[in-house]
Amino acid sequence: MNGLSEYEYELFKEFSRKLKPLSKYDYLNKIVLFKSTLNDKNLLNININESKQFIEHINNIYAKSTCEKIYSYLHSFYNFLLKENYIQNNPFANINKPYVSRIKNKNDVLSLDELNKLISIFPHLKKRDRAIISFLISTGCLLNELISLKWKDLIVDNGNIYSCKIGTQKKERIVQLPEYSWNLIMDYKESTNITSMDDFVFKSRNSNTITDRNVRLIVKNALSIANLSNYSAKDFRHSYATFSLKCGIKDENLKEKLGWSDKNYACRYKYVINFVDSDNIDYIIDNDESNIYKSKK
């Protein structure tokens, strides 16, 4: 069913027993992806050449950040197999890890015009998909934080201030939502069956949740329609960080908003803010509800 042999799947269950369900599913997807390139060869019998060929293969079809993640997952899995004496060598140990520069440039950040161009194609999307993209843009959250969002995490106070709780443990935080984003989620809510406030907000057709791969495909499709295919889901977070800094938010406050472990991560964006729109940014929706961001002229 999952592409692994019964024995391989038992090893995976042993490896992943302490992982959270969504992380476990993510790891499994990456291992199954690797397995699919091996012509049914056993995962325990591969060599460094096969590992190297796989990394070269994914480098040609995925973003570098995704390749880095896949490499890290597989390296971790094979380290476990090595530690437990299932194999003698980690086939990923001597392969160069895909490198992602942490310094952001103008290719990592959508301009205001590009963001509004993306939002302008929302009528062509499903209610769920427009709510997902709007949420990513207006919170700068990670994909796993969006996936983990539950209805009980959405908050509205007596003053009609909308917010949500995202993240877990030390990274848990309250993030304010623009009214437009809130309304898109509520519009989507009317079209879905909710049995409990513990239900996940976003789900797929055949599951009560949604995967990061589903979200990436949703974003990729929307960006394609908007003729912005040079961007990806991760660039929404970069854009949020950049525009926040452009508005004058303190590094410490941005750390809290994005759940960073260190405020110095803001240094990655100090260069790119010189390339974004010079107008002052206002995170208020236009009256025609077509824009999440607008410029004060």
CATH number at residue 112: 1.10.443.10
3-state DSSP call for residue 52? helix
| pLDDT interval class at 102 (50, 70, 90) | low
Q: What is the mean pLDDT of residues 117-141?
A: 95
Residue 206 inside a domain? The answer is yes
Q: What is the mean pLDDT of residues 81-93?
A: 95
199 or 97: whose pLDDT is higher?
199
How much is the pLDDT for 276?
67
pLDDT(149) > 90: yes
Total domains present in the chain:
2
Residue 159 inside a domain? The answer is yes
- Helices marked H in the chain: 6-15, 21-35, 48-59, 64-83, 112-120, 127-139, 143-147, 179-189, 212-225, 234-246, 251-258
Tell me phi and psi for residue 121, to 5 degrees: -95, 5
| pLDDT interval class at 103 (50, 70, 90) | low
| Statement to judge: residues 120 and 68 lie in one domain | no
Q: What is the mean pLDDT of residues 156-184?
A: 89
Averaged pLDDT score across all residues of the chain = 87
| Statement to judge: residues 253 and 116 lie in one domain | yes
| Statement to judge: residues 128 and 243 lie in one domain | yes
Q: How far apart are CA 234 and CA 33, in angstroms?
A: 21
Q: How far apart are CA 40 and CA 131, in angstroms?
A: 40
pLDDT(223) > 50: yes
pLDDT(281) > 50: no
- Which range, of 75-84, 96-105, 167-176, 226-235, averages the lowest pLDDT? 96-105
Instruction: Examine the fold and report which residue of 83, 116, 133 is the final residue of a domain before the chain moves on.
Output: 83
Is 50:16 a contact under the CB 8 Å cutoff? Answer: no
Residue 257 inside a domain? The answer is yes
- Which residues have CB under 8 Å from 89's CB, separation 6+? 82
β partners of residue 259 = none
Instruction: Examine the fold and report which residue of 83, 98, 114 is the final residue of a domain before the chain moves on.
Output: 83
Q: What is the mean pLDDT of residues 60-65?
A: 82
140, 197, 203, 192: which is closest to 171 by C-alpha?
140
Residue 269 inside a domain? The answer is yes
Residue 109: HSE in the Cβ half-sphere, 13 Å Cα cutoff: 25
pLDDT(9) > 90: yes
Residue 232 inside a domain? The answer is yes
Residue 170 inside a domain? The answer is yes
| Statement to judge: residues 21 and 155 lie in one domain | no
pLDDT tens digits along 178-199: 999 999 999 999 988 888 999 9
Find the helix or strand (DSSP H, E) in which 176 lies: strand 173-176
pLDDT(278) > 50: no
How much is the pLDDT for 283?
38
| Statement to judge: residues 206 and 262 lie in one domain | yes
3-state DSSP call for residue 104? coil
- Which residues have CB under 8 Å from 138's CB, separation 6+? 177, 178, 180, 181, 240, 283, 292
Largest CA distance in the chain: 65
Radius of gyration of the chain (CA): 21
pLDDT(284) > 70: no
Q: What is the mean pLDDT of residues 104-109?
A: 80
Q: pTM to 2 decimals?
A: 0.64
Residue 202 inside a domain? The answer is yes
Domain that holds residue 67: 6-83
Q: How far apart are CA 132 and CA 6, in angstroms?
A: 36
The torsion region of residue 46 among left (phi > 0), alpha (psi -120 to 50) and beta comes to: beta
3-state DSSP call for residue 274? helix
| Statement to judge: residues 126 and 181 lie in one domain | yes
Residue 97 inside a domain? The answer is no
pLDDT(286) > 50: no
| Statement to judge: residues 47 and 128 lie in one domain | no
| Statement to judge: residues 56 and 114 lie in one domain | no
| Statement to judge: residues 196 and 75 lie in one domain | no
Instruction: Examine the fold and report which residue of 83, 117, 142 is the final residue of a domain before the chain moves on.
Output: 83
